Amino acid sequence: MRTQKIDHIGIAVKSAEERIKLYRDLLGLDVYYSEELPERGLKVYFVKIGESRFELLEEISENSEIHSFLEKRGEGFHHIALKVENIEEYINKAKELGIKPLSEQPQKGAHGTKVVFLHPKTTGGLLIELVEGGEL
């Protein structure tokens, strides 16, 4: 098991078009990739900042995984993603340690990655996403 780096910071947005004014037009960052993840009710946009990235998460359907987050808390910081190898080992180890993965198996992330989220009630309040593969 090896945890490699902060892969990205996830930010929930109501309208990516509106927020791109901030990231691209004001801050001059490159919004270089977007992808729809219909099974998760999301369209994601990746924004490059130095060695790291922001991921803007936009809801595309009412059963989106960010729907209740946006309803309860509005836009803003959503999760921090860590790049790992052998994500299945992390899922098993988390369960041994009493840290709750939000899915038993990795889900499909953007650009062919495998991802799993860890429940913030079991991580000290932080929604952590583990990501394997899919370097852009």
Cα–Cα separations (whole angstroms), residue 131 to 22, 51, 90, 100? 26, 16, 11, 16
Tell the smallest beta-carbon distance from residue 129 to Zn ion (Å): 5
Tell the smallest beta-carbon distance from residue 9 to Zn ion (Å): 8
Residue 42 or 94: the one with the smaller Cβ distance to Zn ion is: 42
Whether the CB-CB separation of 113 and 30 falls below 8 Å is answered with: no
Residue 20 or 115: the one with the smaller Cβ distance to Zn ion is: 115
Residues that bind Zn ion (CB under 5 A): 10, 55, 81, 129
Residue 25 or 105: the one with the smaller Cβ distance to Zn ion is: 105
Cα–Cα dist 22/5, whole Å: 25
Tell the smallest beta-carbon distance from residue 116 to Zn ion (Å): 11
DSSP class of residue 101 equals B
